């Protein structure tokens, strides 16, 4: 699966934030998106999730050539995009087990495969819960009701393990910064890692990238990808910070502006 972002412009009413962003994520690739606070990382995640507060105003987002921005959030999920935090905070009366079973059924229907084998589902769910070090009693709890931060994180990763998305978008900047939460996410991503799974891991911090080693690293600055590279870019950012990007990007902007002025 190929997620193509082309010249994406988006923002909130009266405030443009993304300013022509280009990015490609394919199944089989782990991408890290870094960048200083306020560069627009979470805005990108919100646009990809279909959060109605963030409006796309230009450019395209395509999933295997199909217009993602025209799809509802649930349609995006059915096509194999996993958008962390897409589920409501709490769903009264729906247990974890029922929620996951329904989500998987829908995903299977949309991909054309026949109904699920319930005993195989239960076996897989139990195994995934063991892997995530979750108590089996969790299956019967109401979704997200009274969940601790760590339990919500485990639930999110459990959902990802069961749904086996083609591409996962995870914004880890604002949540789950404790070591336990990072370990949970890393465990899930590293388990799914392989030719059929891609991820865009959005983070301001390096810590998670010590546990999930990315294939590609991008640095966002002022609503665009300013620099892309391999995993070594994480080290460069750690030692040099973001100033060199500001300088280099600032210089490029000036050169561009003076070129325009001179034209």
Q: Please compute, for residue 248, the number of CA atoms within 13 A of its CA located in the half-sphere on the CB side.
A: 12
Shortest Å, Cβ 223 to Mg ion = 13
Residues 6+ apart with CB under 8 A from 195: 27, 28
How would you classify the pairing of strands 30-34 and 66-67? unpaired
**Residue placing its CB nearer to Mg ion in the complex, 33 or 139:** 33
**Residue placing its CB nearer to ligand ADP in the complex, 17 or 21:** 17
Among 5, 43, 63, 199, binds ligand ADP (CB under 6 A): 43
- DSSP letters of 112-131? TPPPP-HHHHHHHHHHHHHH
**Residue placing its CB nearer to Mg ion in the complex, 79 or 204:** 204
Would you call 61 helix, strand, or coil by DSSP?
A: strand
- CA-CA distance, 96 to 143, in Å (whole number)? 5
**Residue placing its CB nearer to ligand ADP in the complex, 80 or 176:** 176
User: Contact between 173 and ligand ADP (CB under 6 A)?
Assistant: yes
Among 42, 144, 159, 203, binds ligand ADP (CB under 6 A): 42
Are the CB atoms for 159 and 100 separated by under 8 Å?
Answer: yes
Spatial strand order in the sheet of 66-67? 15-26, 2-12, 55-63, 66-67
Helix axis angle, 96-110 relative to 149-163, nearest 10°? 30
**Residue placing its CB nearer to ligand ADP in the complex, 15 or 114:** 15
Would you call 32 helix, strand, or coil by DSSP?
A: strand
**Residue placing its CB nearer to Mg ion in the complex, 28 or 56:** 56
Shortest Å, Cβ 223 to ligand ADP = 8
From residue 9 to residue 38, the character string flagging contacts with ligand ADP as x (rule: CB under 6 A) and all else as - is ---x--x-x-----------------x-xx
Question: CA separation (Å) from 68 to 145, 161, 191?
Answer: 31, 23, 27
User: Contact between 173 and Mg ion (CB under 5 A)?
Assistant: yes
Nearest to residue 84, comparing CAs of 171, 16, 155, 187? 171
User: Contact between 40 and ligand ADP (CB under 6 A)?
Assistant: yes
Residues binding Mg ion: what is the number (CB under 5 A)?
3
Given ligand ADP, Mg ion, none, residue 38, with its beta carbon under 5 to 8 Å by kind, binds: ligand ADP
Nearest to residue 202, comparing CAs of 165, 171, 166, 241? 171
User: Contact between 46 and Mg ion (CB under 5 A)?
Assistant: no
Among 10, 33, 42, 224, binds Mg ion (CB under 5 A): 42
Among 5, 21, 29, 39, binds ligand ADP (CB under 6 A): 39
User: Contact between 179 and ligand ADP (CB under 6 A)?
Assistant: no
Tokens at residue 220, please?
A: 């966002």
Q: Which stretch binds Mg ion (CB under 5 A): 35-43, 121-129, 213-221, 252-260?
A: 35-43
Binding site for ligand ADP (CB under 6 A): 12, 15, 17, 35, 37-43, 53, 173
Binding site for Mg ion (CB under 5 A): 41-42, 173
């Amino acid at each position: 699966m190929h997620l193509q972002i082309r010249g994406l412009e988006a923002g909130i009413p009266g405030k443009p934030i993304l300013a022509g962003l280009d990015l490609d994520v394919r199944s089989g690739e782990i991408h890290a998106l870094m960048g200083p606070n306020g560069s627009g990382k979470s805005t990108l995640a919100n646009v990809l999730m279909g959060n109605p507060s963030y409006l796309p105003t230009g450019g395209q987002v395509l999933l295997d050539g199909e217009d993602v921005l025209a799809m509802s959030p649930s349609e995006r999920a059915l096509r194999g995009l996993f958008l962390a935090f897409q589920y409501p905070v709490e769903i009264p009366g729906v247990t974890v087990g029922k929620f996951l079973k329904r989500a998987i059924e829908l995903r299977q229907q949309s991909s054309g495969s026949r109904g699920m084998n319930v005993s195989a589902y239960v076996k897989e769910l139990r195994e995934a819960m063991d892997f995530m070090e979750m108590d089996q009693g969790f299956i019967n709890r109401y979704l997200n009701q009274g969940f601790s931060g760590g339990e919500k994180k485990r639930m999110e990763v459990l959902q990802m393990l069961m749904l086996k998305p083609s591409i996962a978008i995870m914004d880890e900047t604002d949540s789950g910064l404790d070591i336990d939460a990072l370990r949970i996410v890393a465990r899930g991503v590293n388990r799914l890692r392989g030719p059929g799974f891609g991820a865009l891991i959005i983070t301001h911090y390096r810590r998670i990238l010590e546990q999930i080693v990315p294939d590609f690293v991008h640095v966002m600055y002022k609503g665009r990808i300013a620099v892309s590279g391999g995993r070594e870019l994480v080290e460069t950012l750690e030692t040099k910070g973001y100033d060199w990007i500001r300088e280099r990007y600032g210089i490029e902007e000036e050169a561009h502006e003076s070129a325009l002025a001179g034209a």
